[in-house]
Chain A
Amino acid sequence: AQSVTQLGSHVSVSEGALVLLRCNYSSSVPPYLFWYVQYPNQGLQLLLKYTSAATLVKGINGFEAEFKKSETSFHLTKPSAHMSDAAEYFCALMPGGYQKVTFGTGTKLQVIP
């Protein structure tokens, strides 16, 4: 069975501080992993994806994530939070790179001025 766990439904950081959003997965086959961002009243926008190439993946808006197989993790980071980063972030798993995607429950990021 495949699953995605996002630790912390709400995360608050100060503007300029490090952003760390946690994602752990379970997959019986090599996973493809994604981070999406959702702004209020909008759809999901792809931030970055891991597709079995480099384990450190860089995405848009200064975000990056590192695939750690030993820890079954794919945490999302950004060195310095900006007010515009306030949104909900979803981690997603596609087992084996095939079609069906399992989404985490999301983490709402609040950025404090």
Chain B
Amino acid sequence: ETGVTQTPRHLVMGMTNKKSLKCEQHLGHNAMYWYKQSAKKPLELMFVYNFKEQTENNSVPSRFSPECPNSSHLFLHLHTLQPEDSALYLCASSSRGRVGANTQYFGPGTRLTVL
């Protein structure tokens, strides 16, 4: 595997379900990100992890719970979601520290539908 991978690619869940999205980067990066992409809205940064530590949470509802066990893996745990949470969830990774080395590389995304 190369680059950034995400599983599953598609997910349909009910409002009472609990599910998790997984992201893995094979680029040797040390920063990882979750973004939400909804129709007709700009890309929204949700969370940032640097060296496994969460450094940014953009006022994301608690029904989204991120986890970063190491620099290569990032999870987004979902529970009691709302229909308006249906979107494409994108994971990205980058190097951290050296100015200009922070280009973000994206995974293919998980298309989430909440019924």
In the bound complex, residues from chain B placing their C-beta under 8 Å from that of A36 are 106
B99–A98 contact, CB under 8 A?
A: yes
Interface centre among A97, A100, A101, A103 (most CB of B within 10 A): A101
In the bound complex, residues from chain A placing their C-beta under 8 Å from that of B106 are 36, 43-45
Residue B74, interface by CB 8 Å: no
> B41's closest neighbor in chain A, by CB?
A105
Residue B82, interface by CB 8 Å: no
CA distance A109 to B23 in the complex (A): 29
User: Size range of the interface on B?
Assistant: 20 to 34
Interface string of B1-14 (1 = CB under 8 A from A): 00010100000000
Interface string of B75-105 (1 = CB under 8 A from A): 0000000000000001010101001101111
CA distance A45 to B104 in the complex (A): 9
A46–B108 contact, CB under 8 A?
A: no
- Give the residue of A97, A101, A106 whose beta carbon is less than 8 angstroms from that of B100: A97
> B56's closest neighbor in chain A, by CB?
A100
**B6 CB to nearest A CB, Å:** 8
Number of residues in A with C-beta < 8 Å to the partner?
Answer: 24
A34–B103 contact, CB under 8 A?
A: yes
B90–A90 contact, CB under 8 A?
A: no
B31–A99 contact, CB under 8 A?
A: yes
Apart from the given pairs A99-B94, A103-B42, 5 other A-B contacts in the complex at a CB distance below 8 Å: A41-B108, A45-B106, A90-B43, A97-B99, A104-B42
Residues of A within 8 A of B (CB): 32, 34, 36, 41-46, 49, 51-52, 90, 94, 96-101, 103-106
Closest 3 CB pairs of A and B: A43-B106, A97-B99, A103-B43
